[in-house]
Amino acid sequence: MPGFAPITVRQPQAFDIVDDPIAVCGIGTGFEATFSARVSDADGNELSRISITAGLGNGALGNFHGELPLGAVPGSPQGTLEVFEASAEDGTELHKIVVPITFGRTLVDPYGGFLQYTVEGGDTLAGIARRFYGEANLFHRLFESNRDQLTDPDRIFPGQVLRIPQ
């Protein structure tokens, strides 16, 4: 039976739309029960970093929770959350977990969650944007919110369930 990884991120999941502060939680352990979490924008610029404590420092896995404040609206809707242990010897990042995320406040500020919409025949992102935001040119909000399932803003299909940021 396989064992648990030294760090597991349970929230956020890949491509989740995150708020500010960004809540992160999971299970883990690190040197002296400490590891780090950081958020970066799409260009790799660090926006926030925190230290996290979990376990007893003896290799025991423990639950962790932390909040990473952004302080400002990121310049791009996509970014990453990284959780890792720094090597006591040389600072090398060990057991790194990288989670792609979408910044809600970049899409709609203030960000207040999302609705779900099931695509129907004849729908376009521009038409859906007009319906929910009153402006077709805000289709990019929908595209960026659904990057886990959309690779082209001109290709949506009936039955897809899209997130509509509010």
pLDDT of residue 158 exceeding 90: yes
Highest mean pLDDT among 21-35, 59-73, 128-142: 128-142
- Using the CB atoms, write b or e for 36-67: b if 16+ within 10 Å: bbbbbbeeeeebbebebbbbeeeeebeebebe
Q: Print burial letters for 119-131: b (CB count within 10 Å at least 16), e (below 16).
A: beeebebbebbee
Mean pLDDT of the chain: 94
What was the pLDDT predicted at 1? 55
Burial class (CB in 10 A: 0-12, 13-18, 19+), 79: buried
Question: Which of helix, strand or coil describes residue 160?
Answer: coil
Any idea where the domains of the chain sit in the sequence?
Answer: 7-106, 113-165
- What CATH class is the domain 7-106? mainly beta
1-51 pLDDT tens trace: 578 888 999 999 999 999 999 999 999 887 777 889 999 999 999 999 999
- Contact call for residues 55 and 8 (beta carbons, < 8 A): no
Domains 7-106 and 113-165 share a fold: no
Instruction: Give residues with Cβ within 8 angstroms of 52, minimum separation 6.
Output: 24, 28, 34, 35, 36, 37, 64, 66, 83
Domain 113-165 has CATH 3.30.160.20: no
Residue 145 has pLDDT above 80, yes or no: yes
